A and B are shown apart, each in its own frame.
Chain A
């Protein structure tokens, strides 16, 4: 027998990285929120790699922090090693990655949910959702409870009809043997959501005592430990090391000999897997010319002997896993604790979503995370945050909150998902952002804290700290632009030592800093009036001066893009009736229903000529109805 439980503003289904951010955001924005999870013990689980950040993903974490999300603080609280990747390749691509203690991360996030006012945390499998005539939703659990909600966010991760494959065996399950959510799919189909199957995989966890660390290559953390959140003020240090080793030809032979037993190759898996996360059998087959593949050995936490083999995902059976791993240097006696597996799951077609992550055709229903076809904790958390904010705004009758491509990696991620769509699990990469010189992790705070504050997720105190920093940057930059230093033997010998020409007349400090070889620190002895400033401040000045030309060019591109972005397309356009559009464009536009001309121009199959026609049509219509939405 069913029974009624309570009314909520926002119901979040799933408590992974997307669900947690969504629930926290909506509760913090004053919405009565409930979050459902199959097990309270796997809230914010890290079922795959025990790390947060990395290239482009690190950018997402900084952005989440600037908008008032939780992921950065959780990562800092569980940090056991920190590395800044891509040092030396330019500030735009510096990327922080930390190794996290998996249990600590879970504990931190679970407590954050529990401590959040207005948020109910519930262990239950959601069996169905249904929309009532009054627009509210009934969320029903497997044991019969009905929860009413104004809006619902689906963040089911890989649990939705999860199917695990290990060699020739397969069984219904989510990661870490938590049961799969097998009931919800049916009601999603009834709502008209078209679902598809994606596939991902995870490598084995092995026992520390079975590893020969003498033969592994040490990977230490950075000397200067960085953390993600501008709210974290404790001293951080590296607590554990990582390691690296290589497969060899013997390993590859074993894999080749057993390919027929890999779930991926036996044709049992119908789901589409990501190219950037190939299984080891995939690497060996596709890159046959390589006689070795590297992979990393990473601790799962402080209070455990489990190690994670990053780069070693496989769908081969357990006995073959043991066999090929033992052919690898340092792993000769390896003891598998959790075998590697591949997992298939249901997800939606992300092009059926608005940039708010609400379904275009189903008002009040949102999707976030792997359910939307993305991959990765950070991608999930970013979407969760945006879905949570927009679900709350919907309840409160506020304007949608949309970040455009030029504002952030979050905006780029969501625009890619909802406009271009994806045919494989979508991973964030720096090369996906055409504006990456201005979307750096070091300026995420400047870009997004004011927005986070405006929404109400960022407290005054955090905004004030930013404003203080911006003021220091402004004053110091002005000083550098005004201060002339005379030529001297010492200065010229410094300049020549870093590989740039000496000077013969006085020069402004800012002029010298423009030279790529010259650093702010390097000029210290010649800059008598310098006041001590934080590294954060001086970095910003250095970047702004050195990359001034590039930044200006990107800003001009942004302005061009935003002109189109500001031209809104009304909901009720009948594209099929616009004569000048090509048939393909009419169909694509009808199906995608873009919000503005900019989004329309990024839909594949819509040509620049179609956009011209659309602009003419818009102008024509505006003059007819007097409803001009011109910029």
Chain B
């Protein structure tokens, strides 16, 4: 086998405790790198089936405290050395623990891989083995669905754009090498370096700015907008569960930005209730309005509230125009009152629409589903997490490393044959996300762009 795998083995949900499991020859060494037992115990000397308490860290930063349990080969589920680290539940913490494992030598476990290893080590019966095949099968179709869901999403487009960039460079090198006598522009090192650096920065920003963990930790910057008295504050209160905003029937009551973090299912929204958007003479209120407009520009998700009981107003139109292409959910509030709103314009401008009454608790579920959908679409704006799982992240990290290698080789005067191979590995890492192989892609690239041949 050789490789050591790691995964979160508890369900991906917010719970009391999460378990990160590591299995393989190197499991105990990896545990040593990320776990400091209390009272200076030495993990490598611990016997099987023993546990200890300690701190979990990554690169010197403490993540959590937890309990570590050791199983020594062959007396474990997989028959290999296994370490289980129990940490505090919550998506963010467990992911950070997993990431620490991955950054210290483990690779992400494939679907059903612990069970597969258990089977290969003779730990499972044949009947059990048959069900492993089913697990793998089922997991794959799930993955496939997930991939389809993000196909039109930002992640897909971003990764595809970077992959294409790298393949273009590979194609340039390959064409220049395979067709030395053709009329192909000579590759200039400076230009090549500039292109590689750009690709590297693109991946870095995917990795850093678009970090799922960060999104979970910080929450999605969400702004509630709508004309005065449409029910923004009531909605805020519904979500937060208590009266945070001042609610009155006088339009223009909310004057500054009120922020609150709200957990909706898996997702944390960093909610901001804004002053009703309205032309006003009141100085304080108009400052609030300006602040609201700026918030819209910066938000990752906009909840645009409309009043079902009134016909569409110029202010509504202004809000719709202001939102533009930003990710947004339209909330048609006050469905307990008689309808007066012509919803055509809403349907033309919003993909996600929820009809509710902010006075009714049922509204939370409706909204929660809509938010989940918007998040899993990957259609969220600006700084939102795109690298949504550890496997994707690992591929992106590897690709980044290969590009880095190619750059330093190029700078060091290494010939293009070696650089081409390194870059193909970089592209291959990204292509693994879409299942194409790199040589095919490069060959396609040559023929689509260069006029070559005898």
Contacts of A48 in B (CB 8 A): 454
Q: A86-B180, A582-B137, A613-B137 are in contact. Are A550 and B421 (CB under 8 A)?
A: yes
Extra contacts, 6 of them, besides A89-B415, A431-B178 (Cβ < 8 A), are: A86-B180, A311-B453, A430-B177, A436-B417, A612-B113, A620-B119
Is B421 within 8 A of A437, CB to CB? yes
**Which of B170, B180, B442 has the largest number of chain A CB atoms within 10 A?**
B180
Q: Given A582-B140, A612-B112, A619-B120: A91 and B132 within 8 A (CB)?
A: no
Asked if A607 meets B132 with Cβ closer than 8 Å, knowing A429-B178, A516-B415, A616-B116, the reply is no
Q: In this complex, what residue of A is CB-closest to B421?
A: A437
Which chain B residue shows the least CB distance to A278? Answer: B453
B201 near A: Cβ within 8 Å?
A: no
Q: 7 A-B Cβ contacts within 8 A?
A: A56-B178, A274-B453, A277-B453, A278-B451, A310-B454, A437-B418, A580-B133
A250 within 8 Å of B by Cβ? no
CB 8 Å contact bits of A68-97 with B (1 = contact, 0 = none): 000000000000000001101111110100
Q: What is the CB-to-nearest-CB distance from B372 to chain A, in angstroms, rounded to a whole number?
A: 26
Given contacts A55-B180, A293-B183, contact A434 B424 (CB under 8 A): yes
Q: A311-B454, A607-B435 are in contact. Are A516 and B413 (CB under 8 A)?
A: yes
- Write the nearest CB–CB distance from B81 to chain A, whole angstroms: 21
Are B424 and A516 in contact, with the CB atoms below 8 A? no
Assuming the contacts A85-B181, A547-B418, asked whether A431 and B446 have C-beta atoms less than 8 A apart, the reply is yes
Q: Choose among B119, B139, B174, B438 the residue that contacts A429 (Cβ–Cβ < 8 A).
A: B174
Determine how close the nearest CB of chain A comes to the CB of B159; give it in whole angstroms. 18
List A contacts of B415 (CB < 8 A): 88-91, 516
Interface hits, B106-126 → A, CB 8 Å: 110-113, 116, 119-120, 122, 126
Contacts A609-B111, A620-B129 known; A432 to B439 CB distance under 8 Å?
yes
The contact string, 1 if C-beta is below 8 Å from chain B, for chain A 178-221, is 00000000000000000000000001000000000000000000
Q: Is B266 an interface residue (CB 8 A)?
A: no
A483 at the interface (CB under 8 A from B): no
Partner of B134, one of A286, A293, A579: A579
- Other-chain residue from A287, A296, A554, A609 in contact with B136 (beta carbon distance below 8 A): A609
When distances are taken between beta carbons in the complex, the residues of chain A under 8 Å from B13 are none
Give the residue name and chain of the B residue nearest to A550 (CB): B418
A474 within 8 Å of B by Cβ?
Answer: no
Of the candidates A55, A283, A296, A581, the one whose C-beta lies within 8 Å of that of B179 is: A55
The reply to whether the CB of B243 lies closer than 8 angstroms to some CB of chain A is: no
A residues near B178, Cβ cutoff 8 Å:
55-56, 429-431
Chain B contacts for A93, CB-based, 8 A: 177, 416-417
Report which residue of A55, A95, A274 has the largest number of chain B beta carbons within 10 angstroms of its beta carbon: A55
Compute how far the CA of A239 lies from the CA of B137 in the bound complex, rounded to whole angstroms. Answer: 64
CA A517 to CA B120, docked complex, whole Å = 50
**How far is the CB of A87 from the nearest CB of chain B, in Å?**
9
Nearest 10 A/B pairs, CB to CB: A580-B133, A90-B415, A90-B417, A516-B413, A92-B417, A431-B174, A609-B140, A287-B451, A275-B447, A277-B453
Which B residues touch A89, using CB under 8 A?
176-177, 180, 415-417
- In the complex, the answer to whether A286 meets B451 with C-beta atoms within 8 Å is yes
Q: Say if the beta carbon of B268 comes within 8 Å of chain A.
A: no
The answer to whether B110 touches A613 (Cβ under 8 A) is: no
- Most chain-B Cβ atoms within 10 A of its Cβ — which of A293, A516, A517, A554? A516
CA distance A499 to B418 in the complex (A): 20
Residues in A neighbouring B442, C-beta threshold 8 A? 431
The distance from the CB of A378 to the nearest CB of chain B, in whole angstroms, is: 13
- Chain A residue nearest to B416 in the complex (CB): A89
The answer to the question of A617 belonging to the interface, with a C-beta cut-off of 8 Å to chain B, is: yes
Residues from chain A with a CB closer than 8 A to the CB of B454 are 48-49, 203, 277, 310-311, 313
Known contacts A49-B454, A274-B453, A616-B132; A55 and B417 CB within 8 A of each other: no
What is the CB-to-nearest-CB distance from B195 to chain A, in angstroms, rounded to a whole number?
Answer: 18
Shortest C-beta distance, A288 to chain B (Å), equals: 10
Q: B-facing mask of A20-58, CB < 8 A → 1, else 0?
A: 000000000000000000000000000011000001100
Q: How far is the CA of A517 from the CA of B411 in the complex (A)?
A: 12
Are B451 and A290 in contact, with the CB atoms below 8 A? Answer: yes
A597-631 residues at the B interface, CB under 8 angstroms? 607-609, 612-613, 615-617, 619-620, 623-624
Does A276 belong to the interface (CB within 8 Å)? yes
Provide the residues of chain A in CB contact with B416, threshold 8 Å: 89-90, 93
Residue of B134, B418, B420, B446 contacting most chain A CB atoms (<10 Å): B418
Chain A: which residue is nearest B442 at the CB level? Answer: A431
Q: How far is the CA of A586 from the CA of B446 in the complex (A)?
A: 33
Complex-state Cα separation, A47 to B375, whole angstroms: 62
Contact indicator A580/B418 (Cβ below 8 Å): no
A294 on interface, CB distance cutoff 8 Å? yes
Q: Residue among A56, A90, A578, A608 with the most chain B CB within 10 A? A: A90
Shortest CB–CB separation between residue B347 and chain A, in angstroms?
38
List the A residue with the shortest CB-CB distance to B126. A620
Complex: A616 Cα to B413 Cα, angstroms: 46
Q: Is the CB of A617 within 8 A of B133?
A: yes
Nearest Cβ on chain A to B428's Cβ, whole angstroms: 9
CB distance from B415 to the nearest CB of A (A): 3
Complex alpha-carbon distance, A56 and B180, angstroms: 11
Q: Determine how close the nearest CB of chain A comes to the CB of B136; give it in whole angstroms.
A: 5
Residue of A nearest to B413 (CB): A516
Chain A residues contacting B119 (CB-CB under 8 Å) are 616, 619-620
A607 to B452, CA, bound (A): 33
B134–A516 contact, CB under 8 A? Answer: no
Q: Are B129 and A616 in contact, with the CB atoms below 8 A?
A: yes
Chain B residues positioned under 8 Å from A294 (CB to CB): 182-183
- Tell me the smallest distance from the CB of B449 to a CB of chain A, in Å: 9
The CA of A579 and the CA of B17, in the complex, are separated in Å by: 35
User: A56 CA to B443 CA in the complex, in Å?
Assistant: 14
Q: Which residues of A contact B452 (CB under 8 A)?
A: 276
Provide the residues of chain A in CB contact with B110, threshold 8 Å. Answer: 608-609, 612
Residues of B within 8 A of A293 (CB): 183, 451
Is B310 interfacial (CB-CB < 8 Å)? no
Q: Mark A427-457, 1 if CB is under 8 A from B, else 0.
A: 0011111101100000000000000000000
A435 to chain B, nearest CB (A): 9
Any chain A CB within 8 A of the CB of B130? yes
**Nearest opposing residue in chain A for B132, CB measure:** A616
Q: Which residues of A contact B139 (CB under 8 A)?
A: 609
The residue on B at minimum CB distance from A286 is B451
Q: How far is the CB of A598 from chain B (nearest CB, A)?
A: 14
Residues from chain A with a CB closer than 8 A to the CB of B439 are 431-434
In the complex formed, the residue of B with least CB distance to A274 is B453
A92 touches B418 (CB 8 A): yes
**A516 to B417 Cα, complex, angstroms:** 13
B60: A residues at CB distance < 8 A: none
When distances are taken between beta carbons in the complex, the residues of chain B under 8 Å from A274 are 453
Contact present for B133 and A91 (CB under 8 Å):
no
Q: Which of A527-572 contact B (CB under 8 A)?
A: 547, 550, 554
CA distance A277 to B178 in the complex (A): 13
A89 to B435, CA, bound (A): 30
- Write out, one digit per residue, whether chain A residues 264-277 have a CB within 8 A of any chain B CB (1) or not (0): 00000000001111
Give B412's nearest chain A residue, CB to CB. A516
Cα separation A613 to B134 with both chains bound (whole Å): 9
A276 and B130 contact, CB distance less than 8 A:
no
Chain A residues near B122: list those with CB within 8 A.
623
B287 within 8 A of A: no
For window 40-78 of chain B, which residues contact chain A by CB distance below 8 Å? Answer: none
Evaluate contact between B414 and A516: CB separation under 8 angstroms. Answer: yes
Write the nearest CB–CB distance from B121 to chain A, whole angstroms. Answer: 10
CB neighbours (8 Å) of A290 from chain B are: 183, 451
Q: Is the CB of A283 within 8 A of B421?
A: no
Residues of A within 8 A of B132 (CB): 580, 616
**Closest beta carbon of chain B to A432's beta carbon, Å:** 6
Residues of B within 8 A of A516 (CB): 412-415
Please judge, given known A-B contacts A92-B418, A579-B134, A582-B140, whether A612 and B116 are in contact too, CB under 8 Å: yes
User: What is the bound-complex CA distance between A583 and B131, given in angstroms?
Assistant: 17
